[in-house]
Structure formats: structure tokens, C-alpha cells
Amino acid sequence: MEFSYSIRPATPEDADNVVEMIEELAMFEKMLDQCKLTPQQFKEDGFGPEPYFHCLIAEVTLATGEVKVAGYALFYYIYSTFKGKNVYLEDLYVREPYRKHGIGGDLMKTVAQAAIEKGCVQYRFACVGWNTPALNFYKSNGARDLTAIEDWHMIRLEKDKMHSFAAKLGKK
């Protein structure tokens, strides 16, 4: 299949496509049951007065002139008390027919460029352990697996546990 591609910032009009791709990614990662995001929530969280994230869209233009959404990268800025400004890549996804054409790498590079422009000193992301091709790609581009090197673990509290934990504030 012949095509060219470009990367642009997402708009609220991309919500349906992005949420559909998020569901495709969740299915790939065997976590579809955890995927609850709606297009409306995506719009509110990403394009309201205080956006929680930034999103890039990869579009392909087919030889016929038809334009299709091929992938996305969703990221946000965080802060390291050791290092300062960081960027966190929450998701990177390229649809199956468009993989292995450099789109994923260019999405990641575009996030890196945005982070550099913001003065970030680290680029962080996570990867499921069984996704060996992705891990190899990241490592081949200089990324370090902190789980293996520094024994860091990603920890989270789900909504109900977060609420019960917060409810203990001030109680001993």
C-alpha cells in the first residue's frame, strides 16, 4: 500500500477516532475490560480550560487521495524532584496496516521535540513486558528499562481504593 503521512495536533473533532484507537490498543494489550474512556470525556479532559494532556494524530494520505487516521501519541508534562521538567508518553499507537513505515517513531520524535521546546530533561513512558519488539525499539534508541536497572515499579490506586485511602485523611 502506497501512502504518505503527516503528524498534527489532535482537535476535539478527533475524539471518536482517538477513543476508537485507544480501544484497539487496549485490545492489543489484553486490557479492553479496563478501557472506559468516552469521546465526550476525551474532549472535556483534553480541550477544556485546563487540558490534562496533549495528543498528536498521524494521518495517511493514500494514493487515491483518501486521508485516514493511522495512529496517535498522547502525552503530558510531569515533574521530577530530582531532575525537573519531564514529558510522559501515555500512549503510542499505530494501526496495523500502517505499522513498520516509521509512523510510530516519528510520533515519538515529535513528542521528544515538543518536550525539548518545553525544556524537559527526561522522556518517560511504560511498556508491557511481553511487547518485546517495542522494548527493543525503545532500547535501540537509547531508552533505559528502569525496572531492570533501578528496580522501579509502577504503582497505582484505582478509583475506589483512592477514595477509601483519601477518606482516612486525619484519622489515625
C-alpha cell of 28? 492489543
Rounded distance between C-alpha atoms, residue 155 and residue 45, angstroms: 23
pLDDT in tens, the chain (172 residues): 789 999 999 999 999 999 999 999 999 998 999 999 999 999 999 999 999 999 999 999 999 999 999 999 999 999 999 999 999 999 999 999 999 999 999 999 999 999 999 999 999 999 988 999 999 999 999 999 999 899 988 888 899 999 999 999 988 7
Name the DSSP class of 63: T
Question: Please, are residues 24 and 60 in contact by the beta-carbon 8 Å criterion?
Answer: no
Q: Which one is catalytic: 76, 77, 123, 138?
A: 138
- pTM for the model stands at 0.91
CA nearest 55: which of 81, 2, 95, 19?
19
3-class DSSP state for residue 76? strand
What residue segments make up the domains of the chain, in order of their start?
A: 3-166
**Size (the chain), residues:** 172
Task: Specify the residue for cell string 501512502.
Answer: 3
Q: Which amino acid type is present at position 98?
A: Y
Q: Does the active-site annotation cover 93?
A: no
So what CATH class is 3-166? Answer: alpha beta
